[in-house]
Chains A and B, each alone.
Chain A
Amino acid sequence: MMSRSQKIFTYFALSIWAFIAIFPIWTLIVNSFKPQKEIFSNPFGLPQTFTLEGYKAVLLKGNFGTYFLNTIYVTVISLALIVFFGSLAAYALAKWNSKASIFLYVFFIAGLMIPIRLGTIDLIRLMQFFSLQDTIWSLIPVYVAMGMPISIFILTAFVKNLPKEMFDAAKVDGASEWHIYLKIVVPLLRPAIATVAIFNMMKIWNDFWFPLVFIRAEESRTVALGVSLLFGQYRTDWTRALSTLSLAAIPILILYILLSREFIKGLTAGAVKG
């Protein structure tokens, strides 16, 4: 049990940081609904004059809708491929006992410590070679590759922990490996797949680097790239600047509030070492 003074100290210290953590996000959201003048005269309170002008400008004059759809496409397609390729490989790497499988596993895991960005120069040339530059399709293969090490790491550990008897029984019944993967492994993997999906979703949704280096065309921009350009444009119009940032932040924040436990698990998954 904690003593009374310990309790007071704990609440005091944590409340201060909770305030520091939340306060910027609070001002971001409330100020995005205020006209410029009020942001400066009343920077911290709820809006007295409520306005949607900033959001209207960003959504109607800017192409935020397009950026949003592009980001959703890229994220969903990449995640689907990461989960499919990753779980398939993880099942094989967990069940196949051989020197080749150990070598391949180590080869995949090595990618955990190496940022894919260091290969950007070559990736730009590669995208030009495939004529994918300036399209959202340039982002997907890079994100899938980037997601492989962590996904294979988490999923292989999970498959290895599944009871062996289940696979043996299915084998005896004459089920093919593909059938076992689809009917037994995938349903059991669901919690690990959720972790993998959240980890990669945050990386992909928030990634700014690859859109910045691959994409210029208006119609191919993602939210992160759009935000950087709109923010530059609206730098002096704080209502619009804050509306831009809020539009990028709010969807993820809502998801986080709904699923905070899964989010924390997913985002810290990179550190789950044996």
Chain B
Amino acid sequence: MAKNIKKYFQENGIWFLFILPALLVYLIFMAAPLLDSMRLSFYTGKGYTPTEFVGLQNYIDLFTNPIWRERFFGALKNTFIFFAIHMIVQNSLGLFFANLLANDFRGRGFFRTVIFAPATLSVLVAGFLWTLILNPHWGAINQTLKAIGLATWAKPWLGEENLALPVIALTSVWQWVGMPTVLFLAGLLGIPEELLEAARVDGASSGYVFWRIKLPLIKPVIGVVAILTFVDNFNAFDVVYAMAGAKGEPGYSTDLLATFFYRTGIAGEHPIGIPNMGMGAAIATITFVILMVGVLFWLYSSRKNEDLV
């Protein structure tokens, strides 16, 4: 027995050594904090020492206590809307551009580079830049609308409760649309040319070719784009922080799960400024569970699709 173990390590020990540095960093700074956050969600206490065990009380408060419930469900709803706008607008635009870029014409490399360019900016910089462009008095959008005689269309884009969240989501779409574009483009370019040519010879319209041939063939790419959009946007923080502050102004109408998490567990609510880490951990854990459910559902359905093909 002891001999076997010794032999095992003589043969495999070197591999353990190779993996060890990556594993240690990953364990200590990623896996353990994620798991320990779940444990902390069962505790309460002011500031950095949540030491008092309260069981499920943080969760019960989030779901039922009026002080928490309104903020929590508000943030959850806004996060979902924020994600849905990306899913629909960003990914449809991306598919549309990719379908155009998949053709052979002069300048497609240029267009691809330009469409992707905003994605290289920091989210914070893009967010701040758009607050200036959307500034109700001096911003380029309202100035232009006034100049072309559409002054009534000029609005305080970030100041109205039912307008601010879609506007912020659309600036984020502006920044990230290059991602689905490039991914869909790679998928479309992977379709054998003979297949499309054969369909055209048979007299298929370009609409038919797109909906009935191209789209089913890039189904795996659509799945990847969908899951990336989901994980990235359920976790969005920077753009709202830059454009609407940590409280999701106006009137919490742009508050996302991540800004709620930040205020509750890290910064502390104004004016006291003492974080409630246990409650913050509970919000993080709920976000984690939502993400896991989404990812598992995706894995399950993409596997089922594979079986069918």
Inter-chain contacts of B284 with A (CB < 8 A):
118-121
**Bound form: Cα–Cα A263–B119 in Å:** 10
Q: Are B29 and A249 in contact (CB under 8 A)?
A: no
Q: Are A121 and B125 in contact (CB under 8 A)?
A: no
**Bound form: Cα–Cα A249–B118 in Å:** 10
- A273 on the B face (CB < 8 A): yes
- B113 on the A face (CB < 8 A): yes
Inter-chain contacts of B121 with A (CB < 8 A):
25, 206, 249, 252-253
- A181 on the B face (CB < 8 A): yes
Instruction: Pick from B60-68, B96-104, B149-157 the stretch touching chain A.
Output: B96-104
- B225 on the A face (CB < 8 A): yes
**Bound form: Cα–Cα A13–B265 in Å:** 45
Given A21-B117, A24-B129, A88-B18, answer yes or no on A209-B238 (Cβ-Cβ < 8 Å).
yes
0 or 1 for each of A17-28: is its CB under 8 Å from B? (1 = yes): 110111011011
Q: Are B174 and A121 in contact (CB under 8 A)?
A: no
Inter-chain contacts of B220 with A (CB < 8 A):
273
Q: Are A249 and B288 in contact (CB under 8 A)?
A: no
Inter-chain contacts of B235 with A (CB < 8 A):
115, 117-118
Inter-chain contacts of B225 with A (CB < 8 A):
271
- B224 on the A face (CB < 8 A): yes
Inter-chain contacts of A227 with B (CB < 8 A):
122, 124-125, 128
B220: nearest chain-A partner, CB-CB: A273
Q: Choose among B25, B118, B183 the residue that contacts A144 (Cβ–Cβ < 8 A).
A: B25
Q: Choose among A22, A93, A141, A253 the residue that contacts B25 (Cβ–Cβ < 8 A).
A: A141
Which residues of chain B in 278-309 are interfacial with respect to chain A, using CB atoms and an 8 Å cutoff? 280-281, 284-285, 287-288, 291, 295
Q: Choose among B14, B237, B265, B287 the residue that contacts A121 (Cβ–Cβ < 8 A).
A: B265
A20: nearest chain-B partner, CB-CB: B174
Q: Choose among A107, A206, A241 the residue that contacts B122 (Cβ–Cβ < 8 A).
A: A206
Which residues of chain A in 84-134 are interfacial with respect to chain B, using CB atoms and an 8 Å cutoff? 84-86, 88-89, 91-93, 95-96, 98, 100-101, 104, 107-108, 111, 113-126, 128
Instruction: Pick from A47-55, A60-68, A145-153, A166-174 the stretch touching chain B.
Output: A145-153
Given A118-B37, A253-B117, A268-B183, answer yes or no on A228-B122 (Cβ-Cβ < 8 Å).
no
A122: nearest chain-B partner, CB-CB: B33
Which residues of chain B in 42-83 are interfacial with respect to chain A, using CB atoms and an 8 Å cutoff? 48
Closest-CB distance, A138 to chain B (whole angstroms): 10
Question: In the complex, how many residues of chain A place their beta carbon closer than 8 angstroms to a beta carbon of chain B?
Answer: 94
Closest-CB distance, A60 to chain B (whole angstroms): 21
Q: Choose among A121, A231, A256, A271 the residue that contacts B120 (Cβ–Cβ < 8 A).
A: A256
Q: Are B15 and A96 in contact (CB under 8 A)?
A: yes
Question: In the complex, how many residues of chain B place their beta carbon closer than 8 angstroms to a beta carbon of chain A?
Answer: 87
Which residues of chain B in 228-256 are interfacial with respect to chain A, using CB atoms and an 8 Å cutoff? 228, 231, 235, 237-238, 241-242
Inter-chain contacts of A92 with B (CB < 8 A):
14-15, 18-19
Which residues of chain A in 204-256 are interfacial with respect to chain B, using CB atoms and an 8 Å cutoff? 205-206, 208-209, 212-213, 223-224, 227-228, 231, 238, 241-242, 245, 248-249, 252-253, 256
**Bound form: Cα–Cα A44–B228 in Å:** 35
Q: Choose among A89, A116, A256, A263 the residue that contacts B30 (Cβ–Cβ < 8 A).
A: A116
Which residues of chain B in 188-246 are interfacial with respect to chain A, using CB atoms and an 8 Å cutoff? 206, 220, 224-225, 227-228, 231, 235, 237-238, 241-242
- B140 on the A face (CB < 8 A): yes
Closest-CB distance, B269 to chain A (whole angstroms): 16
- B40 on the A face (CB < 8 A): yes
Q: Are B34 and A119 in contact (CB under 8 A)?
A: yes
B234: nearest chain-A partner, CB-CB: A115
Inter-chain contacts of A24 with B (CB < 8 A):
118, 129-130, 133, 174
Q: Are A98 and B140 in contact (CB under 8 A)?
A: no
B121: nearest chain-A partner, CB-CB: A249
Q: Are B30 and A10 in contact (CB under 8 A)?
A: no
* B positions within 8 Å CB-CB of A: 12, 14-15, 18-19, 21-23, 25-26, 28-34, 36-37, 40, 48, 93, 96-97, 100-101, 103-105, 107, 110-125, 128-130, 132-133, 138, 140, 143, 174, 177-179, 182-183, 186, 206, 220, 224-225, 227-228, 231, 235, 237-238, 241-242, 258, 261-262, 265-266, 277, 280-281, 284-285, 287-288, 291, 295
* A positions within 8 Å CB-CB of B: 1-2, 6-7, 10-11, 13-14, 17-18, 20-22, 24-25, 27-28, 39-40, 43-44, 81, 84-86, 88-89, 91-93, 95-96, 98, 100-101, 104, 107-108, 111, 113-126, 128, 141-142, 144-146, 148-149, 152, 177-178, 181, 202, 205-206, 208-209, 212-213, 223-224, 227-228, 231, 238, 241-242, 245, 248-249, 252-253, 256, 260, 263-264, 267-268, 270-271, 273
Known: A21-B178, A118-B285, A238-B132. 11 other contacts (CB 8 A): A2-B105, A44-B140, A85-B21, A88-B19, A89-B23, A119-B30, A122-B32, A148-B30, A227-B124, A228-B241, A256-B117
